[in-house]
């Protein structure tokens, strides 16, 4: 009774926060943007659910129920990967503030799970699972209750697993030692992808029966993992072989309990007031009287250098942000060594058009900067007051921040070029130049719009938290619109150049466009000081809130 | 002839929709004054200090700092002032040393000077013990000290402090007071708001009291005492027995707290008891 009363109070609190946010024009715009973004997700969700339903219906009708594991694996992969790849949409609210109230651990756990469910990945995953349920029911109506039960367990597993991953990754990123261990594990994971290619290539060179045998070896492995178990439980329910079906479901529930326990360990630690700050006992350290000079970058003025240094330090201390930044390389590895690509049989898009690997990697690199570029003051929080109090023009502060982001883009582009060279062969010179020209066209436009949206729609973020902060939906909407325009222009230019067989044409055209986008950036930068002054109350109200 | 004021406002006002937070304030703070700006909660202190430091735009009125119009010369004014605003304006994911270095360079100090002063300030504020600790992990009092260090790193001529002693322990408060008095001795002007009236009384040479957005008293403590003599106390809480003639001290002996309560009328309803409290 007490718990449900508290939960309803929290739900009321969130409702009031939402209603009160509508008092401002920005809040109303935010709602409008959220509605538009939600419509896009609903369309994607219903479309995906229909597809999943058709696939499930077809597999059952065609007598291939064993293949049900494929769509379930797809759903599971999306559910876990999407929140990490698209953090702007992810919202895993920080509930630690509520711990001051006499909240039982059960309520705390339930609350985290409930709010974790308001997430696009969960929404889409659930819709697609419902699609599969409908497909199965249309094909075999008697299967409905059993399929519903199994899919509920499947959904519960994915929900718990996603929450557990977020909770643990945040824990590991919070301290230097665990952060380093995680970095090593991440590199090992990437290296392990390299082994998949040669391995599948080795089997690919062999006659078909041996490849078949390899799949036969892999099949039981996937069958004992949750998506495979869910598929197996449904299949056994069709025949029906209830002991086998029940044991698969029991195993699936076992997985739920394991990940649930993993999540419980984390949440319990949070509930008990865990502090992950890296504080050293005062008495153990001598007084520090060493002179630590700030950076010296001759091309920048001292205040701009100071902002540049501060931005880099912030970034290097943000594990979650660093993970986002390595995603392009990670994705390249997946594309190259994923199951769709063997030495002989490369069915992936990039395998057929390796010369587009570098432009695509560069474009994705720019996309990963979205969180930084479109909310440049978000991480500063109360520090925004300092910027307003110090005798430096905002255009210089903003320019220094943009230069930091440019440096990241530059370094990432080089790393992407090296990765593409290693994975797909060295990109041709004309492709490389055209891609760089494309970045010169796209980056200033993104910076210009990002600066404006950072002023008009700021959002306080904590760089040390992982997946707990949703970006402003207005920013998401506008940035997506700009990306569509930029990608549309870029792809058109590249396709035209490809059609004409000369990528130098693309390079030239994109350089001309780059000139225009630099002009746009310059004009937007000139307006920054006036805009910052006009919007100072909104900025400080949003960024300095506790 | 009076010297030109360091801080001067005319008709300074700020509205938030229907609410008039600050209503036509005229302030004069002379060079070298330690000026206390007092008022009850929500009176408009922080709003005023934000306007004086460029953190908030006034709805009406003008502000001059060191003879410069703040609106027209904001960068030049900011170069010569230091601020510890309500939110402390800290960058949480820097260490104390990095933040002070950053602040120094943002105020135009060269790298060496910024680094040297950072070391001295951290040492003075007793924050040098944990060089790798991030500001976000500092206690509230430590953050206050760091914010003050950042506000003075460039040697400002005018210092604005919003509740500088809030959450600061007695030892640290002593350190801060010594530093502020040293600045005054060297000719700086300090404008502070505080709820700790004993500290204001001990430190400040001049005081202004704001209530419901309006300036209700200003001057030196002696001037306030003289001015308040003619005001009947409104505060029933100040003298619960209502035996005014017995309870009232002579105006010469009145503390700042008594003056404050007399001026702003610290109404408290004694008939209302929270009887359900344990």
pLDDT at B241: 44
* pLDDT for residue B266: 63
Number of structural domains in chain A: 2
> Beta partners for A503?
none
| Strands across the sheet containing B158-162 | B81-84, B158-162, B189-193, B34-38, B206-211, B214-220
CA distance B55 to B87: 11
Residues 85 to 114 of B: which have CB under 8 A from any A CB?
A: 85, 87-94, 97-98, 101-103, 105-108, 110-112, 114
Q: Quick one: A148 exposed, middle or buried, by C-beta within 10 A (0-12, 13-18, 19+)?
A: middle
Question: What is the spatial distance between Cα A521 and Cα A465, in angstroms, rounded to a whole number?
Answer: 31
CA distances in angstroms from A467 to A122, A171, A301, A377, listed in the order given: 14, 12, 35, 18
Shared domain check, A409 and A263: no
ipTM: 0.84
Between CA A485 and CA A407 the distance in angstroms is 24
Looking at residue B1, the DSSP 8-state letter turns out to be -
Helix (H, G, I), strand (E, B) or coil at A300: coil
**What is the DSSP secondary-structure string of A56-107?**
HHHHHHTT-GGGGHHHHHHHHHHHHHHHHHTGGG------GGGGGS---HHH
Backbone angles phi, psi at B276, to 5 degrees: -80, -10
- Chain position carrying tokens 């800290």: B90
Per-residue model confidence (pLDDT) at position A396: 95
Domain co-membership, A240 together with A316: no
pTM tops 0.90? no
Tell me, letter by letter, the H, E, C secondary structure of B108-129: CCCHHHHHHHHHHHHHHCCCCC
Do the chains contact at B131 and A285, CB–CB below 8 Å?
A: yes
Distance CA A253, CA A272 (A): 27
Supply the pLDDT for residue A369: 85
Distance CA A262, CA A167 (A): 9
Angle at the Cα of A18 from the Cα atoms of A15 and A23, rounded to 5 degrees: 130
CA distance A194 to A196: 5
Instruction: Output the pLDDT for position A327.
Output: 73
pLDDT at A346: 53
Element (H, E) at A11: helix A2-21
Are A359 and A487 part of one and the same domain? yes
Q: Say whether both A181 and A314 belong to one domain.
A: no
State which of A278, A310, A331 marks the end of a domain: A278
pLDDT for A467: 58
Helix/strand/coil for B13: strand
- CA–CA separation, A296 vs A191, rounded Å? 37
Helix segments in A369-393, DSSP class H: 370-373, 383-389
Cα B7-B43-B233 angle, rounded to 5 deg? 105
Q: How far apart are CA A2 and CA A450, in angstroms?
A: 46
DSSP single-letter state for residue A339: T
- Closest partner residue to B101 (CB to CB) among A294, A464, A536 is A294
d(CA B156, CA B135): 23
β-bridge mates for residue A43, sequence order: none
Q: Do A154 and A54 share a structural domain? A: yes
Q: What DSSP string runs through A221-258?
A: HHHTSHHHHHHHHHHHHHTT-HHHHHHHHHHHHHHHHH
**Does B229 touch chain A if contact means CB atoms closer than 8 Å?**
no
Domain annotation covers residue A163: yes
Residues of A in contact with B92 (CB under 8 A): 381-383
Classify residue B136 by its DSSP letter.
G
A460-507 pLDDT per residue, tens? 887 776 655 567 778 888 888 898 999 899 889 988 888 888 888 989
Q: How many other C-beta atoms are found inside a 10 Å radius of the C-beta of residue A244?
A: 15
Strands B206-211 and B68-69: unpaired
Of the candidates A291, A385, A393, the beta carbon closest to that of B85 is on A385
Helix (H) or strand (E) holding B29: strand B19-29
pLDDT by residue for chain A (546 residues), tens only, comes to 567 777 787 778 778 877 887 877 778 888 888 888 888 888 888 999 999 999 999 998 888 888 888 899 999 988 888 776 666 555 555 566 677 777 788 888 888 787 777 778 888 999 999 999 999 999 998 889 999 999 999 999 999 998 898 888 777 777 666 766 776 676 666 656 555 555 555 555 555 555 566 666 667 777 888 999 999 999 888 888 888 899 999 999 999 999 999 999 988 888 887 766 665 555 555 556 677 788 888 889 999 999 999 999 988 887 777 777 777 777 777 666 655 554 445 555 666 677 778 888 888 888 888 888 999 998 898 899 999 999 999 999 999 999 999 999 999 899 889 888 888 888 889 889 999 999 999 999 999 999 999 999 888 887 776 655 567 778 888 888 898 999 899 889 988 888 888 888 989 999 999 999 999 999 999 999 999 999 988 888 888 876
CA distances from A116 to A111, A122, B25, B241 (A): 8, 8, 50, 58
Q: Do A290 and B119 touch (CB under 8 A)?
A: yes
- Surface-to-core class of residue B181, CB atoms within 10 Å of its CB (0-12 exposed, 13-18 middle, 19+ buried): middle
For residue A36, what are its two tokens?
């538009």
SS3 A366: helix
Strand partners, B8: B28, B64
Q: Which two tokens stand for residue B213?
A: 């957005």
Helix (H) or strand (E) segment spanning residue A153: helix A144-173
Query: Which chain B residues touch A529 with a CB distance below 8 Å?
Result: none
Supply the pLDDT for residue A349: 61
List, for chain B, all residue ranges whose pLDDT scores fall below the cut of 50: 234-247
Q: Which of B105, B107, B149, B154 to mutate to test the interface with A (most CBs of A within 10 A)?
A: B105
Residue that has been written with the tokens 């010594």 in this structure:
B178
Are A304 and A399 spatial neighbours (Cβ–Cβ below 8 Å)?
yes
The 3-state DSSP class for residue B73 equals: coil
B106/A392 Cβ within 8 A: yes
Residue A304 tokens read as: 């701009």
pLDDT at B244: 42
> Are A253 and A333 in a shared domain?
no
Interface test with A, best of B16, B99, B121, B129 (most A CBs within 10 A): B129
Residue B183 to residues A220, B8, B88, B155, B179, Cα–Cα distance (Å): 77, 20, 20, 9, 6
Output the pLDDT for position A253. Answer: 95
Q: Does B222 touch chain A (CB under 8 A)?
A: no
For residue A499, with 0-12 CB atoms within 10 Å meaning exposed, 13-18 middle and 19 or more buried, which class applies? exposed
Which chain B positions have a beta carbon within 8 Å of A296's beta carbon? 111
**Which DSSP state fits B217?**
E
Range A55-62 contact pairs with CB under 8 angstroms and sequence separation of 24 or more: A55/A132, A55/A135, A56/A131, A56/A132, A56/A133, A56/A134, A56/A135, A56/A136, A56/A139, A57/A135, A57/A136, A57/A138, A57/A139, A58/A135, A60/A135, A60/A136, A60/A139, A60/A140, A60/A238, A61/A139
Helix axes A473-500, A357-368, angle to 10 degrees: 170
Query: Is the domain B7-218 a CATH 3.40.50.300 member?
Result: yes
B199 close to B165: Cβ distance less than 8 angstroms: yes
pLDDT tens, position by position, B182-214: 999 999 999 999 888 888 888 899 999 999 999
Residue B187: burial class (beta carbons within 10 Å; 0-12, 13-18, 19+): exposed
| Contact present, A375 and A454 (Cβ < 8 Å) | yes
pLDDT attached to residue B240: 43
Residue of A nearest to B131 (CA): A288
Q: Is there a single domain that holds both residue A324 and residue A457?
A: yes
Dist CA A203 CA A343 (whole Å) = 9
Question: Within a 10 A sphere around the Cβ of A245, how many other Cβ atoms?
Answer: 21
Both A242 and A310 in a single domain? no
Mutate to test the interface with A, among B57, B84, B92, B121 (most CBs of A within 10 A): B92
- The reply to whether A76 and A220 lie within a common domain is yes
The nearest CA of chain B is from the CA of A362 a distance in Å of 29
Produce one character per residue of B218-241: b if its CB has 16 or more CB atoms within 10 Å, e if not.
Answer: beebeebbeebeeeebebbebbee
Estimate the crossing angle of helix B111-124 against helix B96-106, to 10 degrees.
130
Is residue A210 in a domain? yes
d(CA A100, CA A102): 7
A23, A539, B9 from A459: Cα distances, Å: 17, 9, 34
- Give the domain range for residue A468: 302-543
- CA angle A106/A108/A110 to nearest 5° reads 70
Q: What's the rounded Cα separation, in Å, for the pair B111 and A123?
A: 52
Q: Do A261 and A339 belong to one domain?
A: no
Maximum pairwise Cα distance, chain A: 77
């Amino acid at each position: 009774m007490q718990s449900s009363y508290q939960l309803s109070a929290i739900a009321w609190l969130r409702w009031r926060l939402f209603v009160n946010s509508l008092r401002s024009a920005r809040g109303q715009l935010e709602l409008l943007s959220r509605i538009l973004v939600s419509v896009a997700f609903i369309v994607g969700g219903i479309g995906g659910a229909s597809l999943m339903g058709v696939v499930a219906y077809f597999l059952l009708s065609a007598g291939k129920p064993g293949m049900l594991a494929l769509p379930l694996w797809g759903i599971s992969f999306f559910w876990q990967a999407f929140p990490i790849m698209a953090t702007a949409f992810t919202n895993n609210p920080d509930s630690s503030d509520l711990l001051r109230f006499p909240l039982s651990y059960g309520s705390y756990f339930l609350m985290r799970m409930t709010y974790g469910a308001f997430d696009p990945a969960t929404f889409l995953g659930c819709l697609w699972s419902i699609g599969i349920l409908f497909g199965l029911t249309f094909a075999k109506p008697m299967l409905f209750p059993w399929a519903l039960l199994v899919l509920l367990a499947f959904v519960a597993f994915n929900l718990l697993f996603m929450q557990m991953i977020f909770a643990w990754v945040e824990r590991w990123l919070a301290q230097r030692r665990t952060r380093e261990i995680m970095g090593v594990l991440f590199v090992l994971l990437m290296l392990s992808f390299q082994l998949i290619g040669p391995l599948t290539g080795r089997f690919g060179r062999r006659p078909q029966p041996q490849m078949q045998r390899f799949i036969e070896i892999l099949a039981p492995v996937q069958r004992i993992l949750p998506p495979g178990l869910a598929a197996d439980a449904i299949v056994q329910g069709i025949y029906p072989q209830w002991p086998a079906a029940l044991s698969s479901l029991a195993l699936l529930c076992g997985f739920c309990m394991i990940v649930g326990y993993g999540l419980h360990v984390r949440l319990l630690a949070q509930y008990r007031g865990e502090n992950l700050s890296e504080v050293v006992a005062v008495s153990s350290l001598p007084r520090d009287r060493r002179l630590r000079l700030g950076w010296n970058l001759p091309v920048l003025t001292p205040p701009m250098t100071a902002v540049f240094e501060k931005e880099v330090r912030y970034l290097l201390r943000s594990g979650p942000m660093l993970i986002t930044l390595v995603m392009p390389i990670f994705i390249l590895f997946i594309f190259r060594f994923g199951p769709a690509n063997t030495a002989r049989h490369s069915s992936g898009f990039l395998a057929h058009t390796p010369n587009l690997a570098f432009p695509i990697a560069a474009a994705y690199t720019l996309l990963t900067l979205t969180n930084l570029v479109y909310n440049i003051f978000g991480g500063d929080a109360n520090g925004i007051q300092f910027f307003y109090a110090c005798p430096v023009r905002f255009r210089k502060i903003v320019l220094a921040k943009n230069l930091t982001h440019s440096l990241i883009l530059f370094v990432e582009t080089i790393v992407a070029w090296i990765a593409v060279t290693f994975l797909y062969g060295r990109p041709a010179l004309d492709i490389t130049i055209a891609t760089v020209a494309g970045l010169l066209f796209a980056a200033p436009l993104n910076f210009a719009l990002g600066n404006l949206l950072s002023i008009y729609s700021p959002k306080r973020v904590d760089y040390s938290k992982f997946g707990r902060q949703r970006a402003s939906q207005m920013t998401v909407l506008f940035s997506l619109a700009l990306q569509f325009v930029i990608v549309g222009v870029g792809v058109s230019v590249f396709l035209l150049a490809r059609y004409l067989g000369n990528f130098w044409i693309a390079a030239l055209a994109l350089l001309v466009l780059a000139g225009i986008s630099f002009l746009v950036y310059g004009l937007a930068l000139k307006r920054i000081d006036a805009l910052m002054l006009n919007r100072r109350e909104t900025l400080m109200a949003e960024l300095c809130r506790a | 002839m009076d010297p030109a004021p360091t801080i001067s406002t005319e008709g300074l006002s700020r509205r938030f929709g229907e609410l008039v937070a600050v209503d036509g304030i005229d302030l004069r703070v002379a060079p070298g004054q330690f000026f206390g700006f007092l008022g009850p909660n929500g009176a408009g202190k922080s709003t005023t200090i934000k306007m004086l430091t460029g953190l908030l735009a006034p709805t009406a009125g003008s502000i001059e700092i060191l003879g410069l119009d703040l609106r027209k010369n904001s960068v030049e004014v900011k170069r010569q002032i230091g601020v510890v605003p309500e939110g402390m304006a800290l960058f949480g994911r820097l260490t104390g040393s990095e933040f002070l270095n950053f602040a120094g360079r943002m105020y135009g100090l060269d790298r060496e000077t910024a680094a040297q002063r950072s070391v001295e300030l951290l040492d003075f504020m007793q924050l040098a013990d944990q060089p790798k600790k991030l500001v976000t992990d500092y206690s509230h009092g430590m953050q206050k000290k760091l914010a003050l260090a950042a506000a003075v790193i460039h040697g400002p001529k005018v210092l604005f402090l919003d509740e500088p002693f809030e959450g600061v322990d007695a030892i640290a408060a002593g350190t801060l007071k010594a530093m502020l008095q040293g600045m005054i001795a060297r000719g700086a002007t300090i404008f502070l708001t505080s709820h700790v009236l004993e500290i204001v009384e001990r430190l400040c040479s001049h005081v202004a009291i704001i209530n419901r957005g309006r300036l209700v008293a200003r001057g030196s403590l002696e001037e306030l005492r003289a001015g308040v003599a003619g005001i009947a106390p409104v505060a029933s809480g100040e003298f619960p027995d209502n035996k005014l003639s017995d309870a009232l001290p002579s105006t010469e002996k009145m503390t700042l707290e008594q003056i404050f309560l007399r001026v702003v009328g610290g109404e408290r309803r004694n008939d209302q008891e929270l009887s359900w409290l344990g």
